[in-house]
Amino acid sequence: MKRTLPFDVVSPMTVMAEAFREGRLKLKKHHYTEPVTFQDSCNFVRNGGNFKDARLLMGQVAGDFREMHPGGVHTYCCGSGGGHGLMSEYKKLRLATAKAKAEAIRRTGAKVVVVACHNCEDGIRDCVKEYGLDCEVHLLSNYLAEAVELGGAS
Amino acid sequence: MALDTIKISETLAAKWGARLGMWLEICARCGLCAKGCHFFQSDPRPEHVPAYRLKPLRQVLAAKGNISEADMAALVDTVYGTCTMCQRCTMYCPHGINIAFMVRATRALAVSVGLTPKGLASGLANALEMGNNLSITAEEYQETLDWQLEEVQEEMPEAACPVDQEGVRSMVTFHPRDIKFYPGNLYSYLKLYNAMGEDFTFTSQGWDSTNIGLFAGDDAAAGTLAGRVVAAGERLKVQRVVTAE
Amino acid sequence: MNVYDLATGPLVWLAFALCLGGLSVRTALFLRLARERDKPVFTGFEPRWAGLSILHWLLPLNVTALESPWVTLAGFLFHAGLLLVGFLGLGHAVFWNQAWGLNWWSIPDGLSDVLTLASLAAVLFFALRRLVRPEVKALTSAGDWLALALAAAPMLTGYLTAHGYGDPETMFLIHVCSGCALIAAIPFTRLSHALFFFLSRAVTGSDFGKRQVGAW
């Protein structure tokens, strides 16, 4: 199964952060003022090396960015990884064990959790709902798209 | 239906390798991995210690694959139900044991005898049959792209939505839900990729870069699914493939 | 040849032969198996990350040292006592010298005493932990107790011998025999982590290092 591919495989965060660094992607500085935290995904941050990319992009658009603890490469899984998003048979256990993540989010005091992974989106939405957190959940692309400075790319 | 224990032992033999043997042997059962697991941190029960997830594999090995249906059911609950394969525990293990790797190998045992939990199994079946795990048709896909392009063009009249363009830099793939449930995500991707002036294309084939086969521990299916994205990338001769978020 | 000569002569030879021979065979088998059916062990190997990973865990430069400081402390004291006194204790140094003409550093008896007692305290800590902490208790199997006993026996009897407890000759004989058992058991029990610690950390360190996670 393993063979060398004729192309690179990259994550959206890599592409967006690269474009931002090169000045191709213009994002409004501190477009958002509400306290916001970022769900470091196991796939992209722990296993994909996107930590700096995520901070670069979030730091640009978020005026009040709060780190989650534990976070970064020590991030807790959103609970929806490893196929858990699809396995309704284990949903009760998944929600019960999202407690650690819920507490990590609660401690940040953030009103928005930005996620950069579809699994995390489900996991965090369920977690926020189950533990009554006063948070919105947004996908990173949506969060960034709204802060795009148009006319800057030409 | 009786459990096909011959299949289990065959899969076990196929999965056996240097790392698997080493990690099973040197796990000191010290329990330090518990600090690494959100299952244990949320609900500190012995079954939630990552090292506990090696127990079923040991059991199958000791029995040379010849295990009871009840034990197999317990195996499924342990390796599917109590692990998201996030690899956090490995960072807390003094020996650096990759529990997720072992869990995936153990999941393969369940797959081999058709015991994949049904949610995963049906998603996987969809992906294999329809090319994406939400059974989206080609028409639905193209229509959604066109619709979102129109939306973006209200803001950015010059925005484009190239599909199957050869020789560009980036081929952008999706999670099927982007198409089916959250077309607004497509709007954002189109806006971002157009705004950054990326030389990109979408693809009509192999656009679902999620891989339920990997979750399930089903190597054959994982290979098939990944192969489709690879084929698309090769066909379009792109420099890089951008995965779904 | 009396029992004493037998124990300090052929038995020690046998123990070391089993240990070193066993470890060599196990290394060879591991590499063969990896070559045949676990290619990522080689293709993923990154010397820099492998080295850093080993270093970070041979020294307490890791997340577990922060999050589980007591277990880490016990772990270091335990291994320090075992290895330092084992290789460099004065009595041992004299033995290596007489038996094989080896000449290296030795540590004074007073320090050996402190190291041995600290190491035994760590053994006690680990044993209690296995009995008291439910999550560790649930994981514990007979092999874990065997490993602990194998390591504790020579340290305990060595201390008792050095301080004249019990019948000196009997105690000494037990010390030598238990020491030989420990050495001989390394390749064939969980104690093989003396070797596999390095291989495992090399594999995982390479893997995590490549993903820019750092020296895991």
Q: Which residues of C touch A49 (CB under 8 A)?
A: 211-213
Query: Are both B34 and B64 inside the same structural domain?
Result: yes
Distance from CA of C42 to the nearest CA of A (A): 13
User: Same structural domain for residues B139 and B103?
Assistant: no
Residues of chain B with pLDDT under 70: 1
pLDDT at C5: 86
Please determine, for residue A152, whether its predicted confidence score (pLDDT) is greater than 60.
Answer: no
| Inside any domain, residue B121 | no
Is B242's CB within 8 Å of A15's CB? yes
- CB-based contact C211 A49, cutoff 8 Å: yes
Fold of A34-145: Rossmann fold (3.40.50)
Composition of chain A by helix, strand, coil, percent to 5:
45, 15, 40
Instruction: Look at residue C195 and tell me whether its pLDDT is greater than 80.
Output: yes
CB B217 within 8 A of CB B107: yes
Judge if B140 and B182 occupy the same domain: yes
**Taking CB atoms and an 8 Å limit, are B95 and C196 in contact across chains?**
yes
Gap between the Cα atoms of B243 and B209, Å rounded: 6
Q: Any CB–CB contact under 8 A between C213 and chain B? A: yes
Q: Is B223 within the bounds of a domain?
A: yes
pLDDT at position B2, please?
82
Residue A3: which pLDDT band, with cuts at 50, 70 and 90? low
Per CB-CB distance under 8 Å, the chain A contacts of B77 are 90
Q: What pLDDT is recorded for position A1?
A: 40
Note the pLDDT of residue C10.
93
Residue A104 has pLDDT above 70, yes or no: yes
Q: Which residues of B touch A144 (CB under 8 A)?
A: 188, 192
Rounded CA separation A126/A97 (Å): 11
Looking at chain C, which residue has its C-alpha nearest residue A52? C212
| Helix or strand run (H / E) with residue B189 | helix B183-195
* pLDDT for the residue numbered B1: 59
Query: A46 and C63: CB-CB below 8 Å?
Result: no
Tell me, yes or no, whether B120 lies in a domain.
no
The residue-averaged pLDDT of C55-76 equals 96
Q: Which chains touch C (3 or more CB pairs under 8 A)?
A: A, B
Round to whole Å and give the CA distance between B85 and B107. Answer: 11
The answer to whether B102 and A60 have CB atoms below 8 angstroms apart is: no
List, as one string, the DSSP characters of B139-188. HHHHHHHHHHHHHHHHH-TT----BS-TT-SEEE-B-HHHHHT-HHHHHH
Residue B20 is assigned to a structural domain of this protein: yes
Tell me the C-alpha distance between C216 and C200, whole Å. Answer: 11
Give the residue from B115, B149, B164 where a domain finishes. Answer: B115
β-bridge partners, B174: B208
- Whether chain A has a CB inside 8 Å of the CB on C66: the answer is no
User: pLDDT tens digit string along A74-101?
Assistant: 999 999 999 999 999 999 999 999 999 9
Asked if B212 and A9 come within 8 Å (Cβ–Cβ), the reply is no
| Number of domains within chain B | 2
Right CATH number for C3-30+69-191 from 1.20.950.20, 1.10.10.60, 3.20.20.70, 1.20.200.10? 1.20.950.20
Instruction: Residue C164: count other Cβ atoms within 10 Å of its Cβ.
Output: 9
Mark whether B135 and B108 lie in a shared domain: no
Contact B34 C67 (CB under 8 A): no
Across the interface, do C216 and B96 touch by the CB < 8 Å criterion? yes
Closest to A79 measured CA to CA, from A98, A100, A93, A92: A98
Residues from chain B that touch A139, judged by Cβ atoms under 8 A, are: 182, 185, 188, 245
- What per-residue confidence (pLDDT) applies to C4? 83
Whether pLDDT at A151 is above 80: no
Task: Kindly tell me if the per-residue pLDDT of A63 is higher than 70.
Answer: yes
A21-52: pLDDT as tens digits: 999 999 999 999 999 999 999 999 999 999 99
- Rounded to whole angstroms, how far apart are CA atoms B72 and B59? 10
pLDDT at residue B162, rounded to an integer? 97
Mean pLDDT for the stretch of residues C171-198: 97
Cβ neighbors of C59 (< 8 A, separation 6 or more) are none
Between residues B216 and A152, the one the model is more confident about? B216
pLDDT of residue B79: 97
Predicted confidence at residue A153, as pLDDT, reads 44
Inform me whether the C-beta atom of residue B94 falls under 8 Å from chain C C-beta atoms: yes
Mean model confidence pLDDT for chain C? 95
What is the domain extent for residue B55?
5-115
pLDDT at B208: 95
Tell whether B19 is within 8 A of chain C (Cβ).
yes
**Contact: A47, C213; criterion CB under 8 Å:** yes
Chain A contact partners (≥3 CB pairs within 8 A) = B, C
> According to the model, what pLDDT value does residue C1 have?
66
Residues on chain A touching C213 (C-beta within 8 angstroms): 46-47, 49, 73
Cβ contact (<8 Å) for C213 and A46?
yes
d(C-alpha B225, C-alpha A1), whole Å:
12
Domain of B94: which CATH number?
1.10.1060
Query: Which residues of chain B are within 8 Å of residue A124 when distances are taken between CB atoms?
Result: none
C102-159 residue pLDDT tens = 888 899 999 999 999 999 999 999 999 999 999 999 999 999 999 999 999 999 999 9
Which residues in chain C have Cβ-Cβ distances shorter than 8 Å to A73? 213-214
